[in-house]
């Protein structure tokens, strides 16, 4: 019996078993609820090694969980042991190493706390998922997290220099990136990254190859001052055209380009501190512009000139543009932006009682293919008559489309729409998952992204690292019978 074996896990902390009310908060992420047999919260690396060695010897499934912000069920255990990294905390070092600014930390530190600590030492760690204050650093490595800064600064992969990993059998490995390695900028979180070195296998592996217990990342100098603009637009089409023009216009150089369509703007406007949008506003663009002091006014002028050219209807909306130049103003912009997915998740959970709920997309395409992709998505989505909205990182070809299915039939139609959009995205040179991974809920999309020989290579890699398939069972790949 699994439960009997789990009672003898070599943990120095308390083990919570199924039926214990204290286990309930660990049973779900934002999309899926599981039913683990037990939960363990190790305090140090040695305890992690002993636990994994024991589970490997007894063929016990182990799922790793962090801040429960996953969108794909990757941190949800359907059985076996759930291992929380919440007590593996602490920042070991921030400073210069051989002239390179770096930081080393445990995986359980919250990303937002890590970034603030780095900033206090005069450095900058760019990855900025919306949930950065709730997501843990190790989990962002395991999903190759992105965010609004990805437009300028790239994905998490670019910054990972080394990691300490506990393998499935309890052995420890130190993985370091060769100093001269050219890190791929390819956007991919659909399965294992096969083009790099072993450290790249673990970035985006969703807890299926080993447990990350320490990570060293490269840092950047603090960025220049910046301002944010929340630009109200008369239509979705105008908002899309502004993003395309900002991407092409050399007079501006945004660090982030975010899209908020009509339905998403309506949700954003429900935040209690959000000002009443103009009556003519039917969509919005959120962008950030870094600048040297002497370039602040020229950049601001260039932005407003771009907006004036976008469409005649924009002229009546320009005065309503919200400009954020101070930290408190920027925090409000980020709070309003975060309100969209947070409120959508609340609505989705309410709809689950009628067998509906949220169905989200994570596909991406090269920015040049975005007009064709968005036209396809809107035509397809309008046709199925399921409420939906689109928002997110359109500047780097990666919007999120969330369907709010009101019943089981609508849920199936929404799932089919996501599948169809994923096929279209791949046909246009993109992919099925830009930042959330596949987990358990979206692993069927792997076959849309990759041909069978590539998936077979991934299965062989999984077999190599985890021969008994105990880690993250059900994430990315279907376990063997």
Summarised one tens digit per residue, pLDDT across range 394-436 is 888 899 999 999 999 999 999 999 999 999 999 999 999 988 8
Rounded to two decimals, the pTM is 0.91
pLDDT band at 129 (very low <50, low <70, confident <90, very high): confident
- Residues contacting 289, CB < 8 A, separation 6+: 226, 227, 228, 229, 252, 253, 254, 255, 299, 300, 303
The yes-or-no verdict on residue 449 having pLDDT over 80 is yes
Query: What CATH architecture applies to the domain 224-340?
Result: 2-Layer Sandwich (3.30)
Given a contact cutoff of 8 angstroms between Cβ atoms, the answer to whether 144 and 157 are in contact is: yes
* Short-list 391, 468, 472, 463, CA closest to 437: 472
Query: What CATH architecture applies to the domain 355-470?
Result: 2-Layer Sandwich (3.30)
Distance, in Å, from the CA atom of 148 to the CA atom of 399, rounded to the nearest integer, reads: 11
What percentage of the chain reaches a pLDDT higher than 70? 99
Torsion over CA of 85, 90, 92 and 93, rounded to 10 degrees?
A: 120
Distance, in Å, from the CA atom of 282 to the CA atom of 305, rounded to the nearest integer, reads: 21
* Short-list 8, 386, 16, CA closest to 24: 16
Chain centroid to CA 423: 21
Predicted local distance difference test score (pLDDT) of residue 1: 63
Given a contact cutoff of 8 angstroms between Cβ atoms, the answer to whether 381 and 394 are in contact is: no
Given a contact cutoff of 8 angstroms between Cβ atoms, the answer to whether 217 and 106 are in contact is: no
Which residue ranges make up each domain of the chain? 2-85, 91-221, 224-340, 355-470
Scanning the structure block, which residue is given the tokens 């019943």? 407
Given a contact cutoff of 8 angstroms between Cβ atoms, the answer to whether 76 and 67 are in contact is: no
Helices (H), 103-146: 111-120, 137-142
Q: What is the largest CA-CA distance in the chain?
A: 71
- Does this chain's domain 91-221 share its CATH topology with 355-470? no
**Domain 91-221: assigned CATH number:** 3.30.465.10
- Residues contacting 96, CB < 8 A, separation 6+: 102
What are 3-59's pLDDT values in tens digits? 788 888 888 888 999 999 999 999 988 788 889 999 999 999 999 999 999 999 999
The yes-or-no verdict on residue 372 having pLDDT over 70 is yes
Predicted local distance difference test score (pLDDT) of residue 46: 96
* Short-list 98, 85, 107, CA closest to 215: 107
Predicted local distance difference test score (pLDDT) of residue 400: 94
- Mean residue pLDDT of the chain comes to 93
The yes-or-no verdict on residue 189 having pLDDT over 70 is no
191: left (phi over 0), alpha (psi -120 to 50) or beta: left
Predicted local distance difference test score (pLDDT) of residue 150: 84
* CATH class in words for 2-85: alpha beta
The yes-or-no verdict on residue 342 having pLDDT over 70 is yes
What are 173-186's pLDDT values in tens digits? 999 998 888 777 66
């Amino acid at each position: 019996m699994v439960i009997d074996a789990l009672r003898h896990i070599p943990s120095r902390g308390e083990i919570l078993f199924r039926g214990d009310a204290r286990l309930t908060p660990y049973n779900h992420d934002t999309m899926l609820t599981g039913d683990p047999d037990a939960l363990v919260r190790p305090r140090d690396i040695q305890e992690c090694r002993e636990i994994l060695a024991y589970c490997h010897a007894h063929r016990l499934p182990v799922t790793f969980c962090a801040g429960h912000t996953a969108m794909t069920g990757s941190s949800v255990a359907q059985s076996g042991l759930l291992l929380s990294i919440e007590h593996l905390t602490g920042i070991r070092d921030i400073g210069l190493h051989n002239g390179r600014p770096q930081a080393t930390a445990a995986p359980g530190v919250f990303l937002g706390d890590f970034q603030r600590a780095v900033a206090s030492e005069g450095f900058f760690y760019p990855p900025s998922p919306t949930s950065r204050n709730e997501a843990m650093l190790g989990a962002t490595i395991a999903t190759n997290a992105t965010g609004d800064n990805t437009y300028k600064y790239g994905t998490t992969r670019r910054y990972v220099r080394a990691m300490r990993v506990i393998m499935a059998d309890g052995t420890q490995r130190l993985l370091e990136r060769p100093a001269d390695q050219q890190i791929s900028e390819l956007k991919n979180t659909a399965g294992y990254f096969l083009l790099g070195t072993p450290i790249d296998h673990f970035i985006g592996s969703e807890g299926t190859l080993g447990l990350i217990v320490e990570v060293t990342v490269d840092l950047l100098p603090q960025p220049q001052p910046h301002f944010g603009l929340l630009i109200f637009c008369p239509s979705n089409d105008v908002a899309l055209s502004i993003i395309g023009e900002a991407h092409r216009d050399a007079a501006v150089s945004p660090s982030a380009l975010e899209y908020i369509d009509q339905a998403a703007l309506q949700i954003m406007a429900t935040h209690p501190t959000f000002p009443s949008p103009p009556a003519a506003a039917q969509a919005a663009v959120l962008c950030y512009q870094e600048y040297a002091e002497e370039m602040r006014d020229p950049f601001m002028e260039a932005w407003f000139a771009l907006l004036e050219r976008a469409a005649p209807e924009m002229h009546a909306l320009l005065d309503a543009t919200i400009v954020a130049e101070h930290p408190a103003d920027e925090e409000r912009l980020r709070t309003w932006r975060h309100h969209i997915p947070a409120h959508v998740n609340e609505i989705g959970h309410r709809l689950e009682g009628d067998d509906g709920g949220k169905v989200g997309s994570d596909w991406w395409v090269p920015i040049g293919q975005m007009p064709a992709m968005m036209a396809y998505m809107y035509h397809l989505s309008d046709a199925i008559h399921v409420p939906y909205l689109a928002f997110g990182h359109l500047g780097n070809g990666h919007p999120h489309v969330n369907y709010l299915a009101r019943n089981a039939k609508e849920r199936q139609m929404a799932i089919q729409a996501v599948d169809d959009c994923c096929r279209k995205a791949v046909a246009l040179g993109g992919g099925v998952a830009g930042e959330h991974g596949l987990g358990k809920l979206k692993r069927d999309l792997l076959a849309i992204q990759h041909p069978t020989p590539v998936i077979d290579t991934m299965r062989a890699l999984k077999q190599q690292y985890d021969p008994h398939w105990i880690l993250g069972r059900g994430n990315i790949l279907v376990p063997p019978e």
